[in-house]
Structure formats: structure tokens, C-alpha cells
Structure 1
Amino acid sequence: MGDPHHLEDGPKTMITVLIADDQELARLGHSLVVGSASDMTVVAEASSGEDAIATCEERQPDVVLMDVRMPGIGGIAATREITATHPATKVVILTSFDLDQYAFGALEAGASAFLLKTVTPERLIDAIRTVHQGDAVVEPRITRKLIDHALAEQARPLQEPRSALDVLSPREYDVFLAIATGMTNAEISARLFLSPATVKSHINKVFGKLGLRDRVHAVILAHRLGITTGL
């Protein structure tokens, strides 16, 4: 392992995590998972939405693991408040059921990830790293229902003509279509023969040109424009 006092490369930057869940056993489990990663640490725990907001104000964590259903205002309202007042803090929503209507509300509340509580430890750790880097994560089993719910809520005449995508370059359009099919950055990289850094650059440009907050909204836009049929 080397000399622990050898600091030639400088101290490692740790991802700080707040765990918000009203069940003590759940908090313990998540804490053990996060603590097993060498690049992240649990800085605090919260047992309610109000507690999560107050703790974020005090500790300024990088990522919050947020349970949807908690006493008081709950996880969604807490997420909305935290993302509004602390934009640098990313929120990972954890839900027990893929049909949980409360989880759908977190989409507009500013959450960066939606995961089932049955997620594997490896997947949870990857999600924390991903959102910390500025990307979004959606559990595959939830993705379709999130889209269907959002489309139902937005059931009105189409406002965005397909020409709205004309601002994209051909390669950016390819990336947009890949996102619309639910592909991860790694999958896009392999499919389009692009480096991970180039993929991320294209995604940022796509989001900026189309005014999208994250990849979930990109999927919703693609479906509203009817360009994913048959993909």
C-alpha cells in the first residue's frame, strides 16, 4: 500500500454523502455501502425531509441519498428545496417500488438519479460517482414508467417542431438519439466509436442547445417529437 505519510500526489478528494431515510436499518445499510468505497464518505444522516434540508445547509454534502417517503415534508419536497438552494449538491432518489408515484414527482424536483432500493451496492456506488460528475442516472425498470408518466402529465398539442433539432450537428443528433434509447455514456461511446470525454462533451452541447436539464428530459423530448418510434 506504500507509506501512508507519502503525500506526493496530494490528498484524495472524497465525495461527501448525506443519507436521508427514516429507517435506521436502511441508513446503516447505505452507510456501510458508501463507506466501502475508497473515494467517498458519509458526513451525516437525516431521518426526515426537514432534517435533510437543515443538515445540507450545515454540511454542504456533494450527494444526498434521499428516501422518497419520510415523516414531515418528505423526500420530494426536501429534494426541491435542496436543489434550489444548493445547486452543487446532487440528489439520488431511492424508492421501494418502480410504480411509486412519489418518485415521479422527484423528476421535476431536481433529482439527478432514480434508483430502486433493491439496487446492488456496486450500482449505488456507481450512481453516486456518476451524479457527482454531473450526469444523471435512472434505474432501467423505472425509465419507461417515468417517461409514460411525464408524457401523460404533458398530454397537450406538440409545441416543439422536429425542426427544433436542426440546431444539432449530425454527430450531436446521433448522440441525442442514443440518449433517447436509454443508452449509457459507455454504451454511446462503444456504439459511436467516440471517447468517453467526447461523448460527455457532445451530451453537454446537446443539453445546452435544446435547453434540457438532464438525459431524462432528453428522452421525454424525443418521445414527444415521435422520433424514437422503431428505434
Structure 2
Amino acid sequence: MIRVLLADDEAMIRAGVRAILGTAEDIEVVAEAADGREAVDLALKHRPDVCLLDIRMPRLDGLQAAAELHKAAPGTAVAMLTTFSEDEYIASALGSGAAGFLLKSGNPRELIAGVQAVAEGGAYLSPSIARRVISRLGAGQLGKQAAARARAEELTAREREVLALVGAGLSNAEIAGRLHVVEGTVKAYVSQVLARLGFKNRVQAAILAYEAGLVGEE
């Protein structure tokens, strides 16, 4: 069972998200918070698998809460839940250690898929967000490809293979199946890749995989 903490300062939004998540047999909302500070406190108390954080909240916003949780509760995955899709929010959320970015206006199936993905150690961007990121990589940021390739070349062949599969959005279990190894081995490789690249989370690694042109090579 995936245990979720939901944080949003609007009670109606919390009720709606809870109702959607309640349709999934493998998800349970174990706590709710109305602001970021309460979300951090409850997360440290309940130790959920996933924290769904609204970006704009009182006392402590979602980005600040995500940064605190990344340090204090590294075993809890964080996904941002927002109505905003501006690029600066995406960059800030990823920099805060978030593994997912979900739009409140998205399809309910995306919400469930996103929670399941980050709970399994994967990364998830709502499709509209993913298109924005990928389009930016292809329209003006392709000059970064050489630098990204150089960074990727610092990895071993197996680490680059894992990086490519992370970029394709696969969870640890899916990568293990693809490479015919145990999941613990994949977790170790992912940790090595993040450490060597200096990244906080899989989303940042996935973006580098796109920039380096690794996705589709696995």
C-alpha cells in the first residue's frame, strides 16, 4: 500500500484529490495538511511513502517544504501538485528535490500514475509539463547536448545504460527487469549515477539523459 500525505491550503482541493486517490486500490491518504509547515511535521510523524505538496501554501510554501523533506525524510518521495505550469516553478520544484510535478487540471489518471511512479522510485512529469521540458530541449537548448554528452561519458557503460532508462521514465523494478538484475542492484546504480552527476533526484538525471540524447539508445 502506498501511503500518501496530501498538503493543500484549500479544503475542497484536498477532498477532490483524496477522492481520486481513493479509487486506486494501492493508495491510501494517511494525513492531510493545510500548510507547508504542518506538512513537514506530519510527514516526519507518519513517514508516508509520498508527499503531495501544493506549491503555494501559507507559513511554508511547497518548494520550501520539499527542500526540508529532502533533507529530513529522504525516504519520502515528493511530488508537487499545482495549477501553475510556468517554467520557473518546474525548475524550482526539481531543485528542491521533487521527483514529480503534477497539474491539478490534469487527467485524474495522471495523478494516480504520478503517485505510483514516484513511490516506486521513479520520476513523473504530467504529460503537458514533459512536452514543455522536451520542447525547450529541442528549441534553443540543443547547444547543451555536447556538454551533457561529456558529463554522461564520465559514467561507466552500465551507469549510462541505467541513466538512459531513468530518462525513459522506468521505475527501479522496470529497469531491473530490462537489465535482468535484482532491484537492489538498480538502486545502487541509480544512487551512484546521481552522486557522480551531483543531482538530487531522478528528474534531473532524466533531463540530462534527454539533453545527452541517451533516451532511445537503451
Q: TM-score range by the shorter chain?
A: 0.7 to 0.9
**Is 1:17 the equivalent of 2:4?**
yes
| Structure of larger gyration radius | 1
Deviation at 1:197, TM superposition (A): 6.4
In the other structure, the counterpart of 2:42 is 55
In the other structure, the counterpart of 2:117 is 130
Deviation at 1:26, TM superposition (A): 0.6
Deviation at 1:116, TM superposition (A): 1.1
**What per-residue deviation string (whole Å, max 9, x for no partner) do you get for residues 27-54 of structure 1?**
0011111222222211111111111112
One of 43, 64, 69 as aligned partner of 1:77: 64
**What per-residue deviation string (whole Å, max 9, x for no partner) do you get for residues 3-27 of structure 1?**
xxxxxxxxxxx22111100111110
Deviation at 1:178, TM superposition (A): 5.7
Deviation at 1:57, TM superposition (A): 2.2
Deviation at 1:218, TM superposition (A): 2.3
Q: Is the 8 A contact 1:16 1:42 kept in 2?
A: yes
Q: Is the 8 A contact 2:50 2:78 kept in 1?
A: yes
TM-score (norm 2): 0.75
- After superposition, the Cα gap between the structure-2 partners of 1:198 and 1:124, relative to the gap in structure 1 and judged at 3 Å, is farther
Identity of aligned residues (%): 34
RMSD: 3.5
For 1:43 and 1:111, how far apart are their aligned partners in 2? Answer: 20
Q: Is the 8 A contact 2:152 2:160 kept in 1?
A: no
Q: Which has the higher helix share?
A: 2
Q: Is the 8 A contact 2:53 2:79 kept in 1?
A: yes
Question: Matched residue pairs, number?
Answer: 204
- Matched residue SS, 1:98: coil
In the other structure, the counterpart of 1:162 is 150
In the other structure, the counterpart of 1:66 is 53
**Is 1:195 the equivalent of 2:177?**
yes
In the other structure, the counterpart of 1:208 is 192
5+ residue gaps, structure 1, are 1-13
